[in-house]
A = this chain, B = another copy of it.
Amino acid sequence: MTAKITNLREQFKTTTRQELTRVGLELFLQQGFATTTIDQIVEPLGISKRTFFRYFATKEDLVVEWQTEMTPAFVDELNSRPREEAPFKAVSETLLSLASRINTNPQLAFELMRLFKETPSLAGRDMERRMVWEQALTATLIEREGPKVMPRLKARITVGMAMTAWTAALDEWYLGGGKANLRPIMEKAFSLVTDQQ
């Protein structure tokens, strides 16, 4: 009964990947992003620099990749929303579900935000990720409502508005030191969008 024990190889790969992110994030938060070299990340794990770049295309990817990888989760969340819900509401609720993940570890989320805001190249990647999410949600929304009720431009704007509120709320939370409860701020932000005349 030689059961297909999951690949040793794949297992090792995922663990080294995790180790790399762990050590990397630790160093970045400690000494800053730019001042940390790949060699410093790689050395305590006994891995070569070349191998690092086989796991992550760039130094930034070490921090950003997991965000992009959670895109499908959003799409699923939006797809599972009740069909009678208004478009903007559905997208807002989808984004709100992410906010609760942040509430799981607000300390870390705050530190990460600081890192992103202090590091231009990371800020850029963060914006890029926002665009990825926007595009994915836009496509999903069009699919959900049909292109007649929801043509591309309209869908993009609906999603964009929700995302704007989301970003603004996060910034507001950050400016308050990350101590406040994120959810009410975000709900306030969403209501400000719908109240616009």
A interface residues (Cβ-Cβ under 8 A, vs B): 86, 88, 120-121, 123-125, 127-128, 130-131, 152-154, 156-158, 160-161, 163-165, 167-169, 171-172, 175, 185, 188-189, 192-194, 196-197
B residues in contact with A158, CB < 8 Å: 196
Q: What is the chain B residue whose CB lies nearest that of A160? A: B164
A128, closest chain B residue (CB): B124
10 A-B contact pairs sorted by A residue (CB < 8 Å): A88-B196, A123-B124, A124-B128, A153-B189, A157-B193, A160-B165, A160-B167, A161-B164, A161-B196, A193-B196
Question: Which of B127, B152, B188, B194 is the one whose CB lies under 8 Å from A153?
Answer: B188
- A120-B128, A123-B128, A196-B194 are known contacts. Are A164 and B172 too (CB-CB below 8 A)? no
How many angstroms from the CA of A164 to the CA of B123 in the assembled complex?
18
Most buried by B among A121, A131, A168, A189: A168
Of all chain B residues, the one with the shortest Cβ separation from A168 is B156
CA distance A165 to B160 in the complex (A): 8
Contact A197 B152 (CB under 8 A): no
Query: Contact check: which of B157, B171, B175 meets A164 at CB < 8 Å?
Result: B157
Cross-interface CB contact of A161 among B86, B188, B193, cutoff 8 Å: B193
